[in-house]
Structure 1
Amino acid sequence: MGKHLVLAGGGHAHMETLANIRQFLDLGHRVTVIGPSDYHYYSGMGPGMLGATYEPDDIRFATRQKVEEQGGEFIRDEITGLDPSGRRLHLASGRVVDYDLVSFNTGSSVDLPEIVGDRSAIYTVKPIERLYEARQQIKKKAEQQAVHVAVVGGGPAGAEVAGNLRQLLGQTGHKTRVSLFAGHRFMSRFPENVRRRCWQLLEKNGVILHEYGYLKSITNNTLIFDSGISEHADFIILATGVHPSPFFKQSGVPTGPDGGLLVNDYLQSPKYPEIFGGGDCISFQSQALDKVGVYAVRENPILFHNLKAALQGKELLPFEPGGDYLLIFNLGNGQGLLRKKWLLFTGSLAFRIKDWIDKKFMTKFQKG
Structure 2
Amino acid sequence: MMTDFPYTRDLVLVGGGHTHAILLKMWAMAPLAGARLTLINPAPSAPYSGMLPGFVAGHYTSEELYIDLVRLARAAGARIILGKASHINRALKQVHVAGRPPIGYDVCSVDIGITSGMPELEGFSEHAVPAKPLDDFARIWDGFCKGTGDAEVAVLGAGVAGAEMAMAAAHHLQSLGRTAQVSLIDRSRALSRLGAQARKKVLASLDTLDVDLIEHAKVLRVWSDQIEIEGRAPVLSQLTLGAAGTRAYDWIAELGLALENGYLRVGPTLQSESDPSIFAVGDCAHLSHAPRPKAGVFAVRETPVLFHNLRAALTGGAMKEYHPQSDYLKLISLGGKEALAEKRGFAVSSTMMWRWKDQIDRKFMRQFDDLKSMAALDLPSEHTQGSEVHHGPICAGCGSKVGRGALAAAFDHSGAAREDVVALPGDDAALLQMGGLRQVLSTDHLRAFCDDPVVMTRIAAVHALGDIWSMGAAPQSAMVSLILPRMSTDLQERTLNEIMQTASDVMTEAGAQIIGGHTSMGAEFTIGFSVTGLAREHPITLAGAQVGDVLILTSPIGTGVLLAAEMQMTARGADVARAYARMSRSVAEDAYALRNAHAMTDVTGFGLVGHLANICRASGVGAELNARDVPLMDGALELSEKAVQSSLYPDNLSDALTMMNAPETPRGRLMLDPQTAGGLLAAIAPEDAQKAIAEMKEQGINAVQIGRIIDGPIALKLIE
Scaled by the length of structure 1, the TM-score of the pair is 0.93
Aligned to 1:116: 123
Structure-2 change in CA distance of 1:80 and 1:238 (3 Å): same
Residue aligning to 2:101: 95
Structure 2 residue aligned with 1:153: 157
Task: Tell me which residue corresponds to 1:296.
Answer: 299
CA-to-aligned-CA distance 1:203-251 (integer Å, 9 cap, x gap): 1122111104243431333323355653231111111121122222111
What's 1:334 paired with?
A: 337
Closer, same or farther: CA 170–232 of 1 in aligned 2, 3 Å: closer
Distance 1:290 1:214, change over 3 A: farther
> Aligned match of 2:15 in 9, 13, 25?
9
* Residue in structure 2 matching 1:286, options 273, 289, 297: 289
Tell me the alpha carbon deviations over residues 271-303 of structure 1, each in whole angstroms, 9 at most, x when there is no partner: 210000100000111132101101001101111
1:69-148 equivalences under 5 Å are 69-112=75-118, 113-116=120-123, 119=126, 122-141=128-147, 143=148, 145-148=149-152
Name the count of aligned residue pairs.
364
Cross-structure match for 2:25? 19
Instruction: With a CA cutoff of 8 Å and minimum separation of 6, indicate the structure with the bigger relative contact order.
Output: 1
1:314-336 per-position Cα deviation (integer Å, ceiling 9, x unaligned): 11100010132001111211121
Q: Deviations over 1:335-363 (max 9, x none)?
A: 21111235311121221111111111111
- Deviation digits for residues 40-80 of structure 1 (CA, Å, limit 9, x no counterpart): 11011012111110012212111122113432110000011
Q: 1:228, 1:90 → 2: CA distance?
A: 46
Distance in structure 1 (CA, Å) of the matches to 2:83 and 2:124:
29
Candidates 202, 205, 221, aligned match of 1:201: 205
Does 2:182 correspond to 1:178? yes
Tell me the distance in 2 between the aligned counterparts of 1:202 and 1:94: 47
State the partner residue of 1:325: 328
1:123/1:35 CA distance change after superposition, 3 Å: same
Q: What is the TM-score with the length of structure 2 in the denominator? A: 0.49
Residue number in structure 1 paired with 2:453: none
1: CA distance, partners of 2:188 / 2:270: 35
Change (3 A) 1:135 1:297: same
DSSP 3-state at the match of 2:134: coil
Superposed displacement of residue 92, structure 1 = 2.3
| Alignment partner of 1:356 out of 355, 359, 370 | 359
Aligned to 2:173: 169
Change over 3 Å in CA distance of 1:365–1:136 after alignment to 2: closer
Contact residue 8 and residue 35 of structure 2 kept, 8 A: yes
Work out the CA distance in 1 between the residues paired with 2:124 and 2:168: 27
What SS is found at the alignment partner of 2:297? helix
The residue number in structure 1 matching 2:626 is: none
Of all paired residues, the percent bearing the same amino acid is 29
Flag the 1:39–1:117 CA change in 2: closer, same or farther, 3 A: closer
Letter in 1 for 2:275: Y
Amino acid at match of 2:358: D
- Structure 2: state its 5+ residue gaps: 1-6, 372-720
Q: How many Å apart are 1:14 and its aligned residue? A: 1.4
Distance 1:259 1:168 in 2: 36
Q: Which of 61, 71, 75 is the aligned partner of 1:55?
A: 61
Whole-angstrom distance in 2 between the partners of 1:309 and 1:55? 39
Give the direction of change, closer, same or farther, for the CA distance of 1:226–1:294 in structure 2 (3 Å limit): farther
SS in 2 for 1:20: helix
Residue 3 of structure 1 aligns with an amino acid whose one-letter code is R
Alpha-carbon distance in structure 1 between the residues aligned to 2:231 and 2:355: 39
Q: Distance in 1 between matches of 2:203 and 2:130?
A: 22
Are 2:239 and 1:231 equivalent residues in the alignment? no
- Residue in structure 2 matched with residue 242 of structure 1 by the alignment: 246
Residue equivalent to 1:274: 277
Instruction: Return the letter of the residue paired with 1:308.
Output: R
Q: Which has the larger radius of gyration?
A: 2
Distance verdict in 2 for CA 1:23–1:118, change over 3 Å? closer
RMSD: 2.0
Which residue does 1:42 correspond to in 2? 48
**2:196 maps to what in 1?**
192
Bigger mean CA offset, 223-232 vs 296-305: 223-232
